[in-house]
Structure 1
Amino acid sequence: MAADRLVPTLAVAALLVLAGCAGGPAGGSGDTTESPTTPTGTPSAPTPTPGQPTDIGESNGTDTAPSGAVDDAVTVENGTLPADATLTFNRVETLTGADVDPWPVEIRNLSEWRASVQRVGAVPLNRALGFENVSTDWSEPTGVTVYGTVYVHPGDGTPARTERVLAHEYAHVVQYRTTMFPWQGRLSQPRLTTDRINARRSLVEGGAVFVADAYSQRYLDVRSNSAYARALYRNGSATTRSALSPYVFGNQYVDSRIDDPANLSVAYESYPRTTEQVIHNETPGEEPPANLSVTATAESERWDSLGNNTLGEMTTRAALDTELGRERAAAAAAGWGTDRLAVYRHAANDSRYGWAWVMRWDNASETDDLEAALSTFADAREGASSAAFRVATVDDETVALVFGDPAFVEEVEVAGRDGNVSVAA
């Protein structure tokens, strides 16, 4: 598929770089991973989850490397850190049972990385679905790991919070340097849809959150990484929840599989291929995607077909959340079997788009719930945007949300049965 055809079909992936990598865990050597950050407008220190330690920002007083740790000196460039980078790395090595060389740490303001991410609402697909622009509270420590370098922005954070970020990022170093991911380095990769990318991101970030939690419990008197992410998730907007979903659900999945960071690689055995499997703690054999084939054609000269994409349960939940609220969106998305998003662009005006989002659910009763939720969502979005929306019933288990340019929504036809669907514009 040509590069210019990939941009609109992968637009929703941009939602997730707010607090994580832009599709990096797909397996390339340029992978990037990040620690969760605090979006502006949400509390930087939300009320602690019951049972979690209060974030008072103090170390527990352990200042020496743990027994058996190899003294791998970490180079810190472009500034200083309020936490000991070498000590933290050696502790992460001990927790994970790894023996790897560290990557250097560079002090860098991550706003340079995230300028485009803060404008997610400018992407036509995101805007049509109701995702809004976001901004980030740069007073909080944040981190990014790019293959070969760890970037840290300490902000105004305490030493303990910065150390927690370092632990998260060093977990990524261990993941990559030990070739922990089954898809790492494969010459032949499956088609990386938004759903596949988000499933992999969830495993990558979920593993790092798990390690950072164990680190905080052992060495810091600070709220755990998972509790921090969950609080931001609960209190944030739908766009914020979309960004944090890989951290929250990825950590839940990893935590359901292992009880010790030294066994982290076990979490990637028989790993989930879909975000549905991640969210519901299932293996590929327990909940394989439903059968669905969507053929998208452009039968007039007005519209060009740009291909299709699978968005997955995680993105479906996030999109519905923009209008229905978190609980109803989660309930409606829970019956996800599979989906295809067919993307069209006007032949004479490249700012006009249309989408046919075909969804096949697990059974007819769950499809009825989805159809009702989609109808409410469509009415709300049509009233709040310039896009048109309509819901098309395909069969007992399949429904389509057609939206975008009003002319496209009026003209496009969606038909099929038993998982074989045609979209014609």
Structure 2
Amino acid sequence: MRRASLSLVLAFLVVLAGCGAPVADSADVDEPDVRADGAAADAEPTADGNSEQGSDDDRDERAEDEADELDDSSAGLEVRGGELPFDENRTFERVQELLEVELRPPVVYVQEPLGTPRGVERNPSSFYAVMNVSLPDPDDTGDELGVGGVASAMNAVYVMPGDDADPAEVERVLVHELVHAAQFQQRVPQAFHDSVPSAHQGTTDADLASVSVMEAGAVYGSTAYTDAYDADVEPEGALLERLYPDASPGTKLVWGPYYYGYQYVDERYDSPAEHWALYEDPPVTMRAVMAGDRGSETELEPFGVRLAAGDTNWRLADTDTKGAFVTKQVLGTELEAAESRDVTSAWAYDRLVRASHDDVDLDGYAWSIRFETAEDAEAFDAAVTDYLDSRATSVTVDGESIDGDVPVAERETATWYADGYAYGLSSVDDRTVAILAGPDAFVESAAVESAGRSDVRVVVDPDRDERASSVAAPAVEPDGPVPAATAPRGAAP
């Protein structure tokens, strides 16, 4: 499943919250394991906030042509497809006043809400399936969020009210989307893209930071609007603060950029008019977003990673950088939120290798995560061991089954098994911890090692791979065969 799942997930996000609550679809948002890593990262949004095809120059030219046709600002907003239950032009004027910018009026489309997808087919080889992060749960919002919305870089806004939608909630969505329209007109996505170091561009972490920066302004703007004009609806920022802490892991993965982005802006600026300074020095990693750091205050430590498969048939499928936020969410599926936050706060960088094999049903992963100090890496190593101990249904150490948790001294010779997946853990160097995950055929035949300077190499040993291939499908646990790999417990199939 690659880009084909975009519309399905977009439908979920729009109905789940749209722009009137935790999730707004200003950028091109994919389900977290949709895209290939790197240039097409196994991530969420595009780095420049556009889903249109073609070069940046082509998109800009199309946007300018359409804007020229709509440049008669005296006419106010043009609403197509239906009516809004309030004075949309008054709302438009108020947004401009709050932002202290003059906007070209976007076309506003009123449309029927999209249905919420349930029973989504998830690729069991996807990173989030292997790491037991469930799909977003529509029940996390209850019946509170019935209005959806999307903004386009082509100066169009879509509002999806649903039946009997509360006018104040519909207006909150429109305000959120108008802020996005302002961001597009001020070329915020392009400014963010230009701020990201080249080695970090196209990664999951950079894409999540892009969403966070965009949604930070929109959530902050709609919250300020609700407060300034005493709208009879819960401010979007307050809604995030209330719903996010108790949301499911999959929902938190999607909502996180909104939640932390809003906190970033709310703590730094006093008004929507001031928030434009955010885009002059934006945070370019989710660690910076969560820590409240500017981009210029962030020193990245990118490192290279490669797969050395020898004579085996394992081949490199993708590489990526997941970032501190994703690492935190993975651990948070088994550990307390405070522990997962603390052990990932010193994240320095990470590199993920995804490997495929024609004769093995599941892809394998080697995830190398580097920390600021050796002590930080040791703390993370211990936390990952707890995560694996909690998740596993059976464990071996040096090939022998054990009962209970893995002793600290033996964790690098342990293999954990859960839901048809195998897991291994090793220290690459004093600051870098590697997690191996996927089929037993990969985990038992792969090792992660330093490769000169600060780079990392994933080595698949031919002899060990030959042995492991004999149990490749299905994987074999020490106590007998395990079921074929499925989506994680609690997730949609």
**Normalized against structure 2, the TM-score is what?**
0.70
Does the CA contact (< 8 Å) of 2:220 and 2:265 recur in 1? yes
Sort the Cα spacing of 1:150 and 1:397 in 2 relative to 1 into closer, same or farther, 3 A: same
Query: 1:116 deviation in Å?
Result: 9.0
User: Are positions 1:335 and 2:369 aligned together?
Assistant: no
Provide the residue aligned with 1:74 in structure 2. Answer: 77
Q: How does 1:212-251 map to 2 (within 5 A)?
A: 212-219=222-229, 220-251=231-262
Provide the residue aligned with 2:429 in structure 1. Answer: 395
Q: How does 1:222-371 map to 2 (within 5 A)?
A: 222-349=233-360, 351-371=361-381
Distance 1:211 1:414 in 2: 46
Provide the residue aligned with 1:146 in structure 2. Answer: 152
Distance 2:233 2:255 in 1: 20
Provide the residue aligned with 1:194 in structure 2. Answer: 204
User: Are positions 1:157 and 2:159 aligned together?
Assistant: no
Provide the residue aligned with 1:412 in structure 2. Answer: 446
Distance 1:16 1:196 in 2: 23
Identity %: 29
What 5-or-longer segments of structure 1 have no aligned partner? 32-69
Query: 1:184 deviation in Å?
Result: 6.6
Provide the residue aligned with 1:47 in structure 2. Answer: none
Provide the residue aligned with 1:374 in structure 2. Answer: 384
Cα-to-partner distance string for 1:217-272 (whole Å, 9 max, x where unaligned):
11113321111112221121111111111111111222233212112321111211
2:48 to 27, 44, 51: 27
Sort the Cα spacing of 1:122 and 1:153 in 2 relative to 1 into closer, same or farther, 3 A: farther
Does the CA contact (< 8 Å) of 1:297 and 1:423 recur in 2? yes
Sort the Cα spacing of 1:363 and 1:25 in 2 relative to 1 into closer, same or farther, 3 A: same
Provide the residue aligned with 1:173 in structure 2. Answer: 181
SS state of the match for residue 295, structure 2?
coil
Distance 1:274 1:135 in 2: 26
Provide the residue aligned with 1:94 in structure 2. Answer: 97
User: Are positions 1:131 and 2:165 aligned together?
Assistant: no
Cα-to-partner distance string for 1:132-173 (whole Å, 9 max, x where unaligned):
233435752121112232122213431111111111111000
- The structure whose Rg is larger is 2
Query: 1:83 deviation in Å?
Result: 3.3
SS state of the match for residue 85, structure 2?
coil
Greater Cα offset, 131-140 or 257-266: 131-140
Distance 1:240 1:183 in 2: 28
Cα-to-partner distance string for 1:52-81 (whole Å, 9 max, x where unaligned):
xxxxxxxxxxxxxxxxxx765222222233
Does the CA contact (< 8 Å) of 1:388 and 1:405 recur in 2? yes
Distance 2:250 2:304 in 1: 29
Sort the Cα spacing of 1:386 and 1:336 in 2 relative to 1 into closer, same or farther, 3 A: same
SS state of the match for residue 316, structure 1?
helix
Distance 1:305 1:24 in 2: 23
Sort the Cα spacing of 1:119 and 1:264 in 2 relative to 1 into closer, same or farther, 3 A: farther
Q: Which amino acid aligns with 1:88?
A: T
Does the CA contact (< 8 Å) of 1:211 and 1:261 recur in 2? yes
Q: Which amino acid aligns with 1:286?
A: E
Does the CA contact (< 8 Å) of 2:47 and 2:189 recur in 1? no
**Normalized against structure 1, the TM-score is what?**
0.80
Cα-to-partner distance string for 1:364-404 (whole Å, 9 max, x where unaligned):
11111111111122233343421111111112111001001
Q: How many residues align?
A: 377
Distance 1:99 1:285 in 2: 29
Sort the Cα spacing of 1:208 and 1:143 in 2 relative to 1 into closer, same or farther, 3 A: same
Does the CA contact (< 8 Å) of 1:356 and 1:402 recur in 2? yes
Q: Which amino acid aligns with 1:390?
A: G
Query: 1:300 deviation in Å?
Result: 3.3
Distance 2:274 2:444 in 1: 54
Does the CA contact (< 8 Å) of 2:124 and 2:362 recur in 1? no
Distance 1:330 1:71 in 2: 50
Query: 1:123 deviation in Å?
Result: 6.2
Query: 1:180 deviation in Å?
Result: 3.1
Sort the Cα spacing of 1:132 and 1:119 in 2 relative to 1 into closer, same or farther, 3 A: farther
Q: Which amino acid aligns with 1:177?
A: Q
Sort the Cα spacing of 1:414 and 1:180 in 2 relative to 1 into closer, same or farther, 3 A: closer
Sort the Cα spacing of 1:390 and 1:72 in 2 relative to 1 into closer, same or farther, 3 A: farther
Sort the Cα spacing of 1:117 and 1:123 in 2 relative to 1 into closer, same or farther, 3 A: farther
Query: 1:111 deviation in Å?
Result: 2.8
Cα-to-partner distance string for 1:255-308 (whole Å, 9 max, x where unaligned):
233212112321111211111111101123323123533222322332111231
Greater Cα offset, 172-181 or 288-297: 288-297
Distance 1:209 1:277 in 2: 18
Query: 1:185 deviation in Å?
Result: 8.4
